[in-house]
Amino acid sequence: MHVDCKGDASLTIVGKEVTYLPAENTARKPLHRDVIRGLQNILGASMVLHRPEDLLLYEYDGSVEKGRPGAVVFPTTTQEVSQVVRLAAQHDVPVIGRGAGTGLSGGALARTGGVMIVFARMNRILELDLENQRAVVQPGMVNYELTRAAEAGGLYFAPDPSSWKSCTIGGNVSENAGGPHTLAYGVTTNHVTALELVLPDGEICRVGSRHGDSVGYDLAGLFVGSEGTLALVTEITVKLLRKPENVKTLLAIFDDVDGASETVAEITARAITPAACEMLDGWTLRAVEDFIHAGFPLDSAAVLLIELEGLAEVVAAQVAAVEEVCLEHHAREVRVARDEQERELLWRGRKNAFGALGRIAPSNYVLDGVIPRSKIPQALRRIREIGERYNFKIGNIFHAGDGNLHPIVLFDPRDAGQYQRAIEASAEIIRYCVEIGGALTGEHGVGMEKSELMPLLFSDDDFGLMRRIHDAFNPRSALNPGKIFPLNKGCGEITPRAQAAVRAVPL
């Protein structure tokens, strides 16, 4: 295998037939009419979009990236997905899977064109086994709707990204999504027991076990978080958890960020594991309060939103202990939500924060980096300094309990200069997270956003191992090409994203 670099900044991996075009250049050569006709024969003409005006919507997701497909299709069964993949393989056309388009790393965008399979019509619960606390769902099932369906049996689905009312289980599986309650319950992979898959040649197979760990290799775990680069997921078996006997939500109010950060570390040191522990800095909480009216104090420097759950007696003891820790670290007040209505209002403020910031600037870029909890104060200071240097306001709302930062860069994407600076600022922030002992991503995935930053964490030997795993399932890079693996090495790729990566990653 060798790599050819061309003047149009394309990348061709000879022997794998992968072509890359910069994300900013979303124009693609239209798919051959034989491909379009084949798709229409499989699904019906109404289930195939191919006109440029129909494809515009699908060149975006929740990130700042772009990538327009050559066609968008809406299958309703696994067999239809398999037929579409076989047709694409016959014509050497890439295939990209997409859920609700809420992803924040460009993972479900058509970086190299091709056929995008949208799972919106594969959105059913195939089985709800309340007795054994299992559900079998199609990939287009909306996260929140699964919990609503399970509530009758006193159960729920634990992973709860902020976009849970619109994101899909299939997308959660692809990116290994988390959410505020990751601290106690883990990310998506901890709740998936089996998968049905369509491989790049159209073969349908199953991995995992319905009721527990399967014998041998954990293949289900391998596919969760693989970002659609190994197979397309068409059916998912998940665990459902029983609702806790008692839940208490606390709002701790601080006049300085350091006190809030130190509180998080001390709670963990006392062997208390909250269901969730979220932090908002003062500027962000003021923007949220102006929009949601959740009861956040406008004159505070930071708040912690802490949730404790379990047996009533245990929760009562933990509430007292957490209040004590907060006050020891100079919280000026600790409020306990009086009832379910007040609790839901506080969480509405947390989960609608990105929408609140949308009232302030034309767009925002939500980052995703991980750091040790003990480094939160210095990380927030560095983020503020970076924002000032690049002339951006950067808000902070994040999963403090597990050190998963989500800096939010407010910018105007219509201004090319602002876009470039936003990309550079983000690369600098993520590099700093890695420098202080953290990681590139906690739950948003790598996708297009962080592929060029991967060398911050991984060596050539690491990439060699990952590539061998990739090629065992997807040797021609037919599924979701141009994701996860860095493309700029030796090619001088000229996109703003690559320029920022070159500055962030030592050569």
SS3 state at 485: coil
Q: How many CB atoms lie within 10 A of CB 348?
A: 15
Question: In sequence order, which residues have a C-beta less than 8 Å from that of residue 49 and are 6 or more positions away?
Answer: 55, 58, 71, 72, 73
Helices and strands (H, E) in the chain, number of each type: 16, 23
Residues, the chain: 507
What pLDDT is attached to residue 73? 98
Dihedral (Cα; 286, 421, 483, 30), 10-degree rounding: 110
Q: Alpha-carbon distance 451 to 449, whole Å?
A: 6
| Residue 215's pLDDT band (cuts 50, 70, 90) | confident
**Model pTM?**
0.90
Q: How many CA atoms lie within 13 A of 221 on its CB side?
A: 9
pLDDT in tens, 147-185: 999 999 999 999 999 999 999 999 999 999 999 999 999
Residue 358 has pLDDT above 90, yes or no: no
pLDDT attached to residue 503: 64
Query: What's the burial of 275, exposed, middle or buried (CB within 10 Å: 0-12/13-18/19+)?
Result: buried
Tell me the percentage of the chain whose pLDDT exceeds 90.
87
Strands 48-49 and 394-399: unpaired
Which domains, ranges and CATH numbers included, belong to the chain? 3-118 (3.30.43.10), 125-242 (3.30.465.10), 246-356 (3.30.70.2190), 361-462+482-504 (3.30.70.2740)
Report d(CA 422, CA 387) in Å as an integer. 9
Handedness of CA 135, 139, 143, 146 (dihedral sign): negative
Which range is least confidently modeled, 59-73, 208-222, 289-303?
208-222
**Structure-token pair, residue 108:** 């479900």
At 376, give phi and psi (nearest 5°): -60, -50
Q: Is the pLDDT of residue 386 over 80?
A: yes
Q: Which two tokens stand for residue 186?
A: 């883990």
Helix (H, G, I), strand (E, B) or coil at 335: strand
Residue at token pair 């839940």: 247
**pLDDT of residue 461 exceeding 80:** yes
Q: What is the pLDDT of residue 496?
A: 61
Q: Is the pLDDT of residue 1 over 80?
A: no
pLDDT in tens, 85-124: 999 999 999 999 999 999 999 999 999 999 999 999 999 9
What does the pLDDT read at residue 212? 74
Give pLDDT tens digits for 413-439. 999 999 999 999 999 999 999 999 999
Cα distance between residue 111 and residue 95, in whole Å: 10
Q: Give the side-chain half-sphere CA count within 13 A for 241.
A: 17
From the centroid of its chain, how far is CA 1? Answer: 32
The pLDDT confidence band at residue 30, using thresholds 50, 70 and 90, is confident
Identify whether the C-beta of residue 91 lies closer than 8 Å to the C-beta of residue 35: yes
- The helix (run of H) or strand (run of E) holding residue 266 is helix 257-269
**What pLDDT score was predicted for residue 354?**
84
What pLDDT band is residue 472 in, cutting at 50, 70 and 90? very high
Of 20-29, 120-129, 270-279, 344-353, give the lowest mean pLDDT range: 20-29
